[in-house]
Amino acid sequence: MTPHNKLFIPGPVEVSENTWAAFSRPMIGHRGEDFKNLYRAIHPGLQTLFGTRQPVFLSTSSAWGVMEASIRNLADRGVLCCMCGAFSDKWFDVAKRCGKNAEPLQVDWGKHIDHKAVERHLATGKFDTVTLIHNETSTGVMNPLEEICRVLAKYPDVALVVDTVSSFSAVNIEMDALGIDVMLTGAQKALALPPGFSLFAVSGKAFARAEKIPNRGFYFDFLEFKKEQANWMTPSTPSIAHIHALQFKLAEIFEEGLEARFARHARTNALVHDWVRTAGFDFFAEEGFRSKTLTCVKNNKGIDVLEFARKLRDKHHLVIDPGYGKIRGQTFRLSNMGDETEETVSHLLTCLDDVL
Amino acid sequence: MTPHNKLFIPGPVEVSENTWAAFSRPMIGHRGEDFKNLYRAIHPGLQTLFGTRQPVFLSTSSAWGVMEASIRNLADRGVLCCMCGAFSDKWFDVAKRCGKNAEPLQVDWGKHIDHKAVERHLATGKFDTVTLIHNETSTGVMNPLEEICRVLAKYPDVALVVDTVSSFSAVNIEMDALGIDVMLTGAQKALALPPGFSLFAVSGKAFARAEKIPNRGFYFDFLEFKKEQANWMTPSTPSIAHIHALQFKLAEIFEEGLEARFARHARTNALVHDWVRTAGFDFFAEEGFRSKTLTCVKNNKGIDVLEFARKLRDKHHLVIDPGYGKIRGQTFRLSNMGDETEETVSHLLTCLDDVL
Buried b (16+ CB within 10 A) or exposed e, B72-108: bbbbeebbbbbbbbbbbbbbbebbbbbebebbbbbbe
Measured between CA atoms, the residue of chain A closest to residue B218 is A94
Contact between A40 and A63 under an 8 Å Cβ cutoff? The reply is no
Contact between B325 and B250 under an 8 Å Cβ cutoff? The reply is no
Mark whether B181 and B246 lie in a shared domain: yes
Query: In this structure, what CATH number is given to the domain that contains residue B304?
Result: 3.90.1150.10
**What's the rounded Cα separation, in Å, for the pair B276 and B290?**
13
Contact between A312 and A355 under an 8 Å Cβ cutoff? The reply is yes
* Chain A residues with CB-CB distance to B61 below 8 A: 60-61, 65, 219, 236
Mark whether A163 and A212 lie in a shared domain: yes
* Chain A residues with CB-CB distance to B27 below 8 A: 7, 12-15, 188, 194-195
Mark whether B209 and B85 lie in a shared domain: yes
Interface contact B194-A13, CB threshold 8 A:
no
Mark whether B269 and B161 lie in a shared domain: no
User: Which pLDDT tens digit goes with each residue over A250-297?
Assistant: 999 999 999 999 999 999 999 999 999 999 999 999 999 999 999 999
pLDDT, position B3: 84
Interface contact A237-B99, CB threshold 8 A:
no
Concatenate the DSSP letters of all residues of A233-297 into one string.
--SS---HHHHHHHHHHHHHHHHH-HHHHHHHHHHHHHHHHHHHHHTT-EESSPTT-B-SSEEEE
Residue B122 domain-assigned (yes or no)? yes
What integer is the mean pLDDT of A26-30? 92
What integer is the mean pLDDT of A118-124? 98
Contact between B233 and B39 under an 8 Å Cβ cutoff? The reply is yes
Interface contact B64-A28, CB threshold 8 A:
no
**What's the rounded Cα separation, in Å, for the pair B5 and B1?**
12
Query: In this structure, what CATH number is given to the domain that contains residue A182?
Result: 3.40.640.10
Q: Best residue in A239, A305, A310 to probe B by mutation, most B CBs within 10 Å? A: A239
Measured between CA atoms, the residue of chain A closest to residue B2 is A26
pLDDT category at A140 given cuts 50, 70, 90 is: very high
Mark whether A117 and A234 lie in a shared domain: yes
Interface contact A237-B14, CB threshold 8 A:
no
Contact between A221 and B97 under an 8 Å Cβ cutoff? The reply is yes
Residue B301 domain-assigned (yes or no)? yes
- Which distant-in-sequence residues (6+ apart) come within 8 Å of B298 by Cβ? B281, B282, B283, B284, B330, B331
Considering only the beta carbons, identify the residue of B93, B236, B241 that sits closest to A64: B236
Q: Where among A254, A282, A303 does a domain terminate?
A: A254
Interface contact A321-B29, CB threshold 8 A:
yes
Residue A133 domain-assigned (yes or no)? yes
How many other C-beta atoms are found inside a 10 Å radius of the C-beta of residue B351? Answer: 18
Q: Best residue in B218, B234, B242 to probe A by mutation, most A CBs within 10 Å? A: B218
Measured between CA atoms, the residue of chain B closest to residue A219 is B65
* Chain B residues with CB-CB distance to A28 below 8 A: 5, 7, 12
pLDDT truncated to tens, each residue of chain B (356 aa)? Answer: 678 999 999 999 999 999 999 999 999 999 889 999 999 999 999 999 999 999 999 999 999 999 999 999 999 999 999 999 999 999 999 999 999 999 999 999 999 999 999 999 999 999 999 999 999 999 999 999 999 999 999 999 999 999 999 999 999 999 999 999 999 999 999 999 999 999 999 999 999 999 999 999 999 999 999 999 999 999 999 999 999 999 999 999 999 999 999 999 999 999 999 999 999 999 999 999 999 999 999 999 999 999 999 999 999 999 999 999 999 999 999 999 999 999 999 999 999 999 99
Mark whether A249 and A261 lie in a shared domain: no
Measured between CA atoms, the residue of chain A closest to residue B193 is A27
Q: How many CB pairs under 8 A join A and B?
A: 180
Considering only the beta carbons, identify the residue of B20, B93, B218 that sits closest to A24: B20
Interface contact B97-A221, CB threshold 8 A:
yes
Residue A295 domain-assigned (yes or no)? yes
Query: Residue B291 is part of which domain span?
Result: 6-13+257-355
Residue B271 domain-assigned (yes or no)? yes
Interface contact B27-A9, CB threshold 8 A:
no
pLDDT, position A70: 98
Mark whether B80 and B141 lie in a shared domain: yes
Question: Where does B168-266 show beta strands of DSSP type E?
Answer: 182-186, 198-202
- Which distant-in-sequence residues (6+ apart) come within 8 Å of A352 by Cβ? A275, A279, A312, A320, A334
Q: Where among B254, B269, B297 does a domain terminate?
A: B254
Interface contact B240-A215, CB threshold 8 A:
no
pLDDT, position A1: 62
Considering only the beta carbons, identify the residue of B14, B29, B219 that sits closest to A68: B219
**What's the rounded Cα separation, in Å, for the pair B130 and B181?**
10
CA R_g for chain B: 20
Interface contact A218-B68, CB threshold 8 A:
yes
pLDDT category at A239 given cuts 50, 70, 90 is: very high
Buried b (16+ CB within 10 A) or exposed e, B191-202: bbbbbbbbbbbb
pLDDT at residue A2 greater than cutoff 80: no
Mark whether A187 and A280 lie in a shared domain: no
pLDDT, averaged across chain A: 97
